[in-house]
Amino acid sequence: MELIILGSAAATPIKERNLSSIALRYRNQIFLFDCGEDFQRKFAEAGLKFNKPMKIFISHFHGDHIIGLPGFLFRLSLNDRTAPMMIFGPRNLFLYLFLHKKILGLKAKYHIKIIEIDHQSQELIEYEGLDSETPKKTIQMNNNIVLDTKYFSIKYALVEHSVITFAYAFIEKSRYGKFNPDRARELCIPEGHLWKKLQEGQIIDFNGTTIDPVKEGIVGAKQPGRKITYSGDLKPSDSLINLGINSDILIHEATFAKALAEIAEEKKHSTSVDAATDAKKMNAKQLILTHISARYQENALMLLEEAKEIFPNTIIAKDLLRITLK
């Protein structure tokens, strides 16, 4: 599991910082959180592959978080992409892409689903392909989960910003430790469906004996899954704390230094101190400050110092920074 910062600037890109975008590599697929303008260049520079299954999560419709998405999809339409794609975001996400199809001829020959999150009705509105303006289906959401799979789920939270904005958490499910095939053989358990059950930690009945794979040392004990939370743009919001509780990594916007707290409040953004306070409140293990204003081009480390006073395990994002999660 690897996190890669593809863009760490707020509003205006600078030489060292592209607009907001974060990639997560996990189990042979790529997750993207926001698609700032021209993030495709950093995507390529990071060595990420364009034909991987992808899941994209858009936090809100401010240009610095979404303008890179059509460009990226145009690029994919030039490649012979075959891998599936899912894109999640607020209502009107389909319309946004549909207009690019209508006016600029955007195409997607691969399987693409666009899923709008309606926080009011607690529904997911799912479109398939770019052709039909009628949603394929509507799904009632449970507990703010927008995607649930065997290995992980993705949850969203509505946070406070000047437009409808979602924070997202990637929550890996707890899993059993390493499978020990020699131990299974020792107990004379034949390979096949029983092994599969044991690998999943299931207690089995074998020749009249109950076998607990953890107690028997066939699989390692259950390990908690990893959790990564991305704030999007926001002013301090309780909903983010609830979403991100006990995160391994919190990626939090820190548009302003603490001296500009009043402007942050007015513009519904966060300061370095807000980000650190949120990390502390949610009992996160590590904080990454991002969405750094161009005004701190020369002294972004000041934001880091301010945050560290409250939450010591903080780093500041820079483009192409890579973090491996064990």
- Write down the least CB distance from residue 174 to Zn ion, Å: 33
- Write down the least CB distance from residue 323 to Zn ion, Å: 21
| 62 is a contact residue toward Zn ion (CB under 5 A) | yes
Residue closer to Zn ion, measured from CB, 172 or 233 = 233
Query: How far is C-alpha 31 from the geometric centre of its chain's CA atoms?
Result: 6
Apex 166 CA angle, 75 and 98, nearest 5: 40
Can you point out the beta strands (E) in the chain?
A: 2-7, 21-26, 29-33, 54-57, 85-90, 112-118, 123-128, 137-140, 145-148, 152-159, 165-172, 204-206, 209-211, 227-230, 249-253, 286-290, 314-316, 322-324
- Identify which range of 56-64, 168-176, 217-225, 234-242 contacts Zn ion by CB under 5 A: 56-64
Residue closer to Zn ion, measured from CB, 172 or 319 = 319
How many residues belong to the site for Zn ion (CB under 5 A)?
3
Residue closer to Zn ion, measured from CB, 201 or 232 = 232
Residues 6+ apart with CB under 8 A from 299: none
Residue closer to Zn ion, measured from CB, 213 or 232 = 232
Residue closer to Zn ion, measured from CB, 37 or 64 = 64
Number of H helices, E strands in the chain: 10, 18
Residue type, 151: Y
- Identify which range of 1-9, 88-96, 138-146, 225-233 contacts Zn ion by CB under 5 A: 225-233
- Write down the least CB distance from residue 72 to Zn ion, Å: 18
Among 34, 64, 116, 274, indicate the residue that binds Zn ion (CB under 5 A).
64
Question: How far is Cα 126 from Cα 134, in angstroms, rounded to an integer?
Answer: 9
- Write down the least CB distance from residue 291 to Zn ion, Å: 6
Question: How far is Cα 263 from Cα 11, in angstroms, rounded to an integer?
Answer: 15
64 annotated active-site: yes
| 233 is a contact residue toward Zn ion (CB under 5 A) | yes
- Write down the least CB distance from residue 93 to Zn ion, Å: 15
Residue closer to Zn ion, measured from CB, 42 or 62 = 62
Phi/psi-derived region of residue 119, left when phi > 0, alpha when psi is between -120 and 50, beta in every other case: alpha
Token output for 13? 């890109």
DSSP type of residue 322: E
- Write down the least CB distance from residue 316 to Zn ion, Å: 16
Question: How far is Cα 41 from Cα 80, in angstroms, rounded to an integer?
Answer: 18
Task: Considering the candidates 64, 233, 274, 319, report the single residue annotated as catalytic.
Answer: 64
| 37 is a contact residue toward Zn ion (CB under 5 A) | no
Site pattern 175..214 for Zn ion (x: CB under 5 A): ----------------------------------------
> Which residue do the tokens 């479109």 mark?
127
Residue positions annotated with a catalytic role:
64
Residues of the shown chain interacting with Zn ion in the complex, contacts defined by CB under 5 A? 62, 64, 233
